[in-house]
Amino acid sequence: MKNFFLQAAADLSNVSILTKVIATLAILFFSNILIKFWNRNLDKSALKPSTIMKTKQNYSLVVKTITGVILLTIWYNSKDILTFLGLFSAGLAFALRDVVANFLGWTVINSKKVFKVGDRIKIEDNVGDVLKIDWFHTTILESKKEHSYYGQSTGRYIHIPNVKILTQDVVNENTTFPYTWNEIPFSLSSESDWKKSKEIIQEAADKILGNKVAEVTEALENASKEYPIYYTNLGHTIYTSMDKDTITLTLRFMCKSKNFRNIEHSIVEYYLQMTK
């Protein structure tokens, strides 16, 4: 095999650089088509999704390895590659700028543990749950923008360049302290029995939220070992305010990011049933 490789490289040493460039581009194009064709047929198979994904990755690795060996044979022991690289060095430097930046972002994500698979994050206007962290992109399952970033999944995938974590604010809802403060406002007219409404809201909160103070306190103690996070009141509270002829009762409480929508639904329905 080694002799065959060396003989093939020697036979190709006298081929013109233009021919080598054309052959290189053709081989890269063909290998890409081969991978896409294989993936398309795999998608139509009856295999499990996890098996399909693993098979795709293994096949892609094999094709790319064989392609690399073929290209190495073409350019092996040839000074033409220096000429080739010289012609495209400016273009490569410009193109690789984003590639290197994205790879650096991937390094920061994994070394600093900015987020991991399963976390709900917000980068710019993109909100969702992390599905995959690749070398150059992070894939999230988008969530609706309702209630800041506590909405339900839309089913759409968003591919975010990893360089974004170096240039944009990143919000992670599943950090060392996975709880956030949330509020549900209830608007009443000035003639309403606001005291009765407040009792119903308190009853709903006690029943649905329960007493999470001990659970939240434990999480807070763990988080305070890394960050200066301190709260004096961790229980749910109802605040009363008034603007002109409208009385607003605001329920403030702590919960995990993915639980808010269901909690809001349950509390509001309980309130409506008790006040009808």
pLDDT greater at residue 173 or residue 167: 167
Give, to the nearest 10 degrees, the angle between helix 194-208 and helix 260-275. 140
For the beta sheet containing 170-172, the strands, ordered from the edge strand earlier in sequence to the opposite edge, are 153-161, 137-143, 126-133, 120-123, 170-172
Q: What is the mean pLDDT of residues 49-76?
A: 78
pLDDT at 45: 82
* In the block, residue with structure tokens 């009385």: 247
pLDDT greater at residue 82 or residue 229: 229
pLDDT at 186: 94
What class, spelled out in words, does domain 120-172 have in CATH? mainly beta
Strand partners, 250: 185, 239
pLDDT at 9 over 50: no
pLDDT greater at residue 66 or residue 226: 66
Each residue's pLDDT tens digit, 20-47 = 777 778 888 888 888 888 888 888 888 8
Question: Do the domains at 120-172 and 179-275 have one common CATH topology?
Answer: no
What is the band of 268 on the pLDDT scale with cuts at 50, 70, 90?
very high
pLDDT at 155: 83
11: amino acid identity, one letter: D
Q: Say if residues 109 and 165 touch (Cβ distance below 8 Å).
A: yes
Q: What is the mean pLDDT of residues 87-110?
A: 73
Q: What is the mean pLDDT of residues 117-143?
A: 86
Winning range, highest mean pLDDT, from 86-100, 135-149, 235-249 = 235-249
Contacts 24+ apart (CB under 8 A), 78-87: 78/9, 78/12, 78/13, 78/20, 80/17, 80/20, 83/17, 84/17, 84/20, 84/21
Q: What is the mean pLDDT of residues 269-274?
A: 91
pLDDT at 238: 92
d(CA 184, CA 205): 11
Helices (H) and strands (E) in the chain, counts: 8, 8
pLDDT at 2 over 60: no
pLDDT at 150 over 60: no
In this structure, the number of other CB atoms found within 10 A of the CB of residue 37 comes to: 10
Enter the pTM of the model: 0.55
The domain segmentation of the chain, as residue ranges, is 2-78, 120-172, 179-275
What class, spelled out in words, does domain 179-275 have in CATH? alpha beta
What is the band of 149 on the pLDDT scale with cuts at 50, 70, 90?
very low
pLDDT at 69: 76
